[in-house]
Amino acid sequence: AAGRRFEEGRRKARQMEQEVLSRLRTLPDGDRKADETRRMIDRVRTFIGYREYPKYGIVCRFFVYKQALLAEAERLVREGVLSGKEDAFYLTFQEFHEAVRSRRVDEQLVRRREEAFRSYRALTPPRVLTSDGEALTGAYRRDDVPAGALTGLPVSAGTVEGRARVVLDMAEADLEAGDILVTVFTDPSWSPLFVGIAGLVTEAGGLMTHGAVIAREYGLPAVVGVDRATRLIRDGQRIRVHGADGYVELLP
């Protein structure tokens, strides 16, 4: 299924390319402009895959680093320095280094940071956050959607109906082919889940965020920026995603 979607996406890209080149040729000096544009498209198509190499290297190295730090944290747990190995995540690298050296840690500091992390995790990301740190809120002005539908931003065209799977932690994802992924946001670590799903709905995101870009690459209908999607859509509920129009219908 993923292969078919990929081929369909590539076919559409070729069609769009030909349409752009045809329009350019109608302009003054159009043949030259079209030839130059085609060369630029070919260059991008040849080298665009290399953009993933730095990211892949970072992910691989961070995994190795994490395993090493957790192994050291487990030793501290056995020695009674830490209550649990996950407590290492609430220390800076220098604090963790000092804990390993001195075999002592400020337990109250760890608990305060754990509590702060839980409070931050419960926050709802603002729809827009300016470079000055100002959080902007608002509502979509839409009169072209069915009653009861959830509105958002259209980022990947197509319409699909299926079972919604609300996933808040990728490690707990239990998806089957044809499911529609509903989550707060995605990042590169979520990419393997896109292989089998049929659509995507997220609470945060825009046209160029990770989920939107990957959805278009895989030809998956997607709507992002859907306020409280993970709370308004029940896990297992049937929904219909309108990727071109930017809304989600909740089906009986």
Angstrom distance (rounded) from CA 13 to CA 218: 12
Angstrom distance (rounded) from CA 28 to CA 23: 11
Angstrom distance (rounded) from CA 160 to CA 26: 37
**Out of 69, 210, 227, 250, which one is annotated catalytic?**
210
Element counts in the chain: helices (H) and strands (E): 7, 10
Amino acid at site 163: R
CB 209 within 8 A of CB 125: no
210 labelled catalytic? yes
CB 202 within 8 A of CB 184: yes
Residues annotated as catalytic (active site), given as ranges: 210
